[in-house]
Amino acid sequence: MAHDTNHSGKHTHRADEDKTKLLNRLKRIEGQVRGIQKMVEDDRYCVDILIQLSAINAAMKKVGMNLLENHTRHCVKGAIEAGNGDSSIEELMKVFEQFSKS
Amino acid sequence: MAHDTNHSGKHTHRADEDKTKLLNRLKRIEGQVRGIQKMVEDDRYCVDILIQLSAINAAMKKVGMNLLENHTRHCVKGAIEAGNGDSSIEELMKVFEQFSKS
Amino acid sequence: MAHDTNHSGKHTHRADEDKTKLLNRLKRIEGQVRGIQKMVEDDRYCVDILIQLSAINAAMKKVGMNLLENHTRHCVKGAIEAGNGDSSIEELMKVFEQFSKS
Amino acid sequence: MAHDTNHSGKHTHRADEDKTKLLNRLKRIEGQVRGIQKMVEDDRYCVDILIQLSAINAAMKKVGMNLLENHTRHCVKGAIEAGNGDSSIEELMKVFEQFSKS
């Protein structure tokens, strides 16, 4: 599966509250994607589908910004404090770039 | 539900082949969103999750571009040929702007 | 120069008013780019420069949306009415995609 | 002028080499913006102009990513090392969000 192909094997501990929030958002997005499938099956008007797609993209970006912020606040900050921030910052910049293009 | 709130009530007939293709893509995206939920549950590394999010965003953009192209090739073109293209073009521009921002 | 390398040699007639508006916007953007050069020369804070860059990007996107709309309203519509819209639509989609990525 | 309205009054010292590189890129972008003005004056084909606009946007994004990287490598890292990284990270996230939307 796509999410198993290029991972680092690393893990992160997230606060339970953050995790629940994140999972709820992702479940809502999953529901929205299913909603779009139904719209396609029902031959709904393309512009209506496109508006829904934009809404999902915006929700995905929010999830991404959230993860990015948590990552910077914990992993990157921790690495810098431990004196080995450079590779962490390099990785952050790569993910910034990829994310801002997508 | 989000996909029922601001729709026009209009419908579009899509070729069966296009519809199947589109639905398959959306099912794959749904699976990828579920994959990200699992990554969060498993406390996977944020950067790995962010890379997966970018992949989904890219897949969503592809679906969007596809719909936009079909819409222009059929609905907008048809409206112009029927002599009432102006509102169709205005709508296309709005949806493109919203889409390119998302 | 970059703007001479990959052009089609085609021309478009724009209404004088539209042309003046467009040129004024582009002159303002040129001034903003010079403003950023001065900020760099004066060692101004990176975040302030980044905020200015975002403002220019937003202004550029507006110019682009404007051109895209004019192009669709005139060239693409005209081509469809003349019965040869297909290559025009294909070109529009390519430029949409490139523009939404940039 | 736009670049004087909402600044923080802070300054950053950039390495001379980085500064020269950045200024050269910005001068090239300024030239490209002037190039687009000429294209408009010459009634050049909209799609050709749009392709040029996309090229400038891409160049602007590169400048922005560069500044963002320098900022993170120096200012943000320094603030974290000095024990007051939190507001620096918050600012970084805001500017990244604004930048990725533009």
Looking at residue B7, its pLDDT comes to 56
Both tokens assigned to D8: 């923080």
Minimal Cβ distance to A30: which of B2, B30, B58: B30
Looking at residue D8, its pLDDT comes to 73
Pick left, alpha or beta for residue C11 (phi over 0 → left; psi -120 to 50 → alpha; otherwise beta). Answer: beta
> C76 CA to chain D: closest CA distance, Å?
11
Q: DSSP per residue over D35-90, as a string?
A: HHHHHHHTTB-HHHHHHHHHHHHHHHHHHHHHHHHHHIIIIIHHHHHTT-HHHHHH
The overall average pLDDT reported for chain C is 89
Per-residue model confidence as pLDDT tens digits over A3-22: 444 457 777 777 888 899 99
B-contacting residues in A 34-63 (Cβ below 8 Å) = 34-58, 60-61, 63
Looking at residue A37, its pLDDT comes to 97
Tell me the ipTM for this assembly: 0.83
The overall average pLDDT reported for chain A is 89
pLDDT > 70 in chain A, percent: 93
User: A6 vs B33, B37, C19, CA distance in Å?
Assistant: 16, 17, 49
**Cα A47 vs. chain centroid, distance in angstroms?**
25
Looking at residue B6, its pLDDT comes to 46
- Contacts with D61 from chain C: Cβ below 8 Å: 57, 102
Grade residue C2 by pLDDT with cuts at 50, 70 and 90. Answer: very low
Grade residue B1 by pLDDT with cuts at 50, 70 and 90. Answer: very low
Q: Catalogue all structural domains in chain D, each as residue range(s) with its CATH number.
A: 17-101 (1.20.58.1000)
> Any chain D CB within 8 A of the CB of C13?
yes
Per-residue model confidence as pLDDT tens digits over B18-64: 899 999 999 999 999 999 999 999 999 999 999 999 999 999 999 99
Grade residue D6 by pLDDT with cuts at 50, 70 and 90. Answer: very low
Looking at residue D73, its pLDDT comes to 94
